Amino acid sequence: MLNKKSIITLLVLFTGGFVPIQLVTLSFWYSQYYVGETLGPKMVRTAHEFAVPYIEFLYIPSLIVFVAIMIYSKKKYPDLFRRIKVGIIAGLMLGLALDVIRQNGVINGWLPQDVPMMFGKMVTGSQSFVPIFIIGLLVHFLNAINFGIIYTLLFGKLKNYKMAILAGVGLLFLLEIGMMVGPPMAKMVGPFGINYAWPQLFLLTLVAHIFSGVACGLTAQFLLKEEDNKWFLPFLLNKKIN
């Protein structure tokens, strides 16, 4: 049965996961699939049209709710707080690991755009480097943190590091597939990059997501406690694991 803690956990998953992550996909979906702008600066400007109200009415309010839940759960639900805290750290490690590989794609021209810069242009609508760079990196790492939180809520502390690596890689592999067939990448460069830099783009992003999945899983496994061994459903319903 769902209780107060269960509802708060679902709110964490929604406000700290679903809403922030969908800023990018929904904004470019609007530009590419609804309006029909699939390439170039006009595509980013059209995505910005969607991003502005989304940020104002969903993104920022969700982050405020998420922070409030984190503060509230520190005393009321320390196990939930621990998963959130560890998820943030694991997400940061995920983002850093991803960027180690991603930069090679930028340097070698295997990516159509530097992803944080594209995010920055979409959010700010600016042509100035400083706000684009700062906001783009912020959105980029917030997305990474969101996936770290999703990981700790879904899997908790697993039996061993091997399982943690498999879980992290599995989660990021799903992200890789989604990125390759969804907005904005598929409309820009074709599914899996077949119209741009095949197979370099796909292989680069695949390796980057595998590497970041390993970093996320290992970090979460190391920092979570033994009592954090429930996966999402038992944790949500407060059921014991034999």
- Measured in residues, the chain has a length of 242
Enclosing domain of residue 40:
4-237
Name the domain count of the chain. 1
Q: How many beta carbons lie within 10 A of that of residue 108, not counting itself? A: 11
CA angle (102 as vertex; 110, 216 as ends), nearest 5: 145
**Is 182 in a helix, a strand, or coil?**
coil
CA distance 242 to 228: 14
Q: Which helix (H) or strand (E) holds 63?
A: helix 60-76
Let me know if residue 184 belongs to a domain: yes
Regions of the chain with pLDDT less than 70: 1, 112, 241-242
Residue 63 domain flag: yes
Helices 78-108 and 129-155: crossing angle, nearest 10°? 130
Write down the pLDDT at residue 102.
84
Q: For residue 165, how many other CB atoms are within 10 A of its CB?
A: 19
Q: Is residue 199 part of a domain?
A: yes
Q: What is the pLDDT of residue 12?
A: 96
Contacts of 153 (CB under 8 A, 6+ apart): 9, 12, 13, 17, 83, 87, 232, 235
Buried b (16+ CB within 10 A) or exposed e, 71-103: eebeeebebbbbbbbbbbbbbbbbbebbbebbe
User: How high is the pLDDT of residue 241?
Assistant: 66
| Structure confidence at residue 127 (pLDDT) | 87
Q: What is the pLDDT of residue 242?
A: 58
Residue 242 lies in a domain: no
- Cis ω before 184 (30° cut-off from 0): yes
Asked if the structure places residue 8 within a domain, the reply is yes
pLDDT 10s digits, 65-113: 999 999 999 999 999 999 999 999 999 999 999 988 888 777 777 776 7
Query: Is residue 65 included in any domain, yes or no?
Result: yes
Q: Is residue 192 situated within a structural domain?
A: yes
What are the residues whose beta carbons fall under 8 Å from the beta carbon of 229, sequence distance 6 or more? 156, 157, 158, 159, 241
